[in-house]
Amino acid sequence: MREFFFYVNLRQAFLLAPQYAKRISSRTVLFTSVPKECLDEDCIRSLFKGSAKKILIAGDTKQLDKITQERDNVAMKLEKAEIEWIRLCNKERIKYETKIDKEAEKTATSTSDPESGNFDTGCSHEDKRPTHRTGPFGLIGQKVDTIQWCREKLKALIPEANSAQSNWRTGKYEKHPAFFVEFSTQYDAQVAFQIATHHRPLQLSPRFIGIKPNEVIWKSLSYSWWQVAIRRFVTYTAITGLVVFWAFPVTIVGIIAQVDTIKSLPGLTWIQNTPQVILGAVSGLLPSIALSILMSSVPVFIRTCARWSGCVSTSQAELFTQKAYFIFQVLQVFLVQTLSNGFISSLVTILRNPNNVFGMLSTSIPTASNFYISFFIVQGLTIATGVLTQIFGFIMFTLSSRFSNKTPRMMYYKWTTFSTLSWGSLMPIYTNMAVISIIYSVIAPFLLFWSTISMGLFYLAYRYNVLYVADTDVDTRGLIYPQALKQLLFGVYVAEMCLVGMFIVSKAAGPAVLMILFLALTILYHVSLVKALDPLLDTRLSIHTRMD
């Protein structure tokens, strides 16, 4: 609660700071799901009673994007070809000059024809000029001179792109059900953002404020409210299917972690002949590493689904990714993993003594903590070391500098751009670890020792990384953090439910009733907290504070 209040006050101070308030994005509101009758500038101005400064109605840019993208691709291709040709000619020049004596070198002349891209040193040949094929993927089609072809292509594409841009500026485009409104002050923008602007539900909603042009997913602006609803349903179904499908490999990982237990099952006694060193590595390190690899590909799929589902901005897609990936982490890394570990232990005990089922359940759940101890150790050492040393990033940077960066533009971009952190896929990993620590704090308290060490290593590594090494991939204006704080309460819920279950199977009625009461109070506290503080995350200005 205290951390939440501190965060809200800090965010309000940032959003009201003059440096932020002066930005055009801070006083611009994006309205989506707009009815056709409202896609008119006069109608829009009448909605806001003259407080609107500028209005931009979104439109179909597919053809314009195609032309400008083709123009840019050809320009970059020409740049790359000319740099390649210059390097080749310079290499030939050096070879040529090393073959003659110093006196001949002083009198030697070199000619250049910048229009044709030819540099004659006496050694260059026309057949060495950069060429490519005009067919798909450059594998088939006519073989042409790249420099000449790109120049001729640009002569046709540049006027075409300029004409398409002029048509766009004059309003000759298909309008999309969305528009941007720039207000004179941040106060007017906040008022327009908070009030209901249409009498029908799902119209002129959702609304977004503080969004920058490079954050907008422009394709999503063309979707109506019912298209977004259908896409969201399909997305939720796909993610649910992924969760179900991913449970099988995660279960296998959990079974491997219990190799010391399953070796006593019929048909698996051959495992007892395996050396203890190998068994220790298989049951300790292998499951943790395998689980990390399994989880690494999931955020890419979720982020793609978020963009396809109709998220209007990259920050909204990142917040969607955080929510979905946290659920995925909890279900797979905690729930499925714990159940698979507990299932193996329970199965062996039931086969040996079927009459002691309830007593067994109250003691077998903590056995899964052994996996999480090794999980925290592996994650703490490998992730913290990898984040600090940046070995993988160094290797990729070296390889790309050696083989990919062929032009000064690419080299400049590579050397002046920081590596990025995607908080939507990064934060759920550590939120889930915190949730696991909270849950096992009442079941296996010894786990807290290892989780504290791991979290401390994560903090030190990422603190240094954020301050000096990396940049933020998507700017959510701080909304990732409160969402993670609210997700921590899931750990409290599960811990209380585990205690209720353990008290019930242990036939302890009094403690079970008391924990049920605590669970109800936690739910009431959570609902009250969300109801009181959630509006403050979007509300930047109080009604008594007007920013002119």
| pLDDT value for 323 | 94
| pLDDT value for 203 | 81
Alpha-carbon gap, residue 20 to 478, rounded angstroms = 14
CB under 8 Å to 207, separation ≥6 — which residues? 29, 30, 31, 32, 193
Alpha-carbon gap, residue 210 to 221, rounded angstroms = 16
Tokens describing residue 206: 């959702």
DSSP state of 355: G
The 10 Å Cβ neighbour count of residue 273 is 7
> What is the amino acid identity at position 63?
Q
| pLDDT value for 120 | 47
b/e map of 419-456 (b: 16 or more CB within 10 Å)? eebbbbbbbbbbbbbbbbbbbbeebbeebeebbeebbe
| pLDDT value for 123 | 47
Count of residues making up the chain? 548
What are the two backbone dihedrals, phi and then psi, of residue 181, each rounded to the nearest 5 degrees?
A: -130, 120
| pLDDT value for 286 | 67
Alpha-carbon gap, residue 179 to 193, rounded angstroms = 13
Alpha-carbon gap, residue 276 to 281, rounded angstroms = 9
- Taking the chain (548 residues) in consecutive chunks of 10 residues, what is each chunk's mean pLDDT? 85 86 90 87 84 89 91 93 89 80 55 48 64 81 89 94 90 88 89 77 84 90 89 93 81 66 58 64 64 78 92 93 92 74 57 54 61 80 84 82 78 84 90 90 85 91 89 86 92 87 82 92 90 78 51
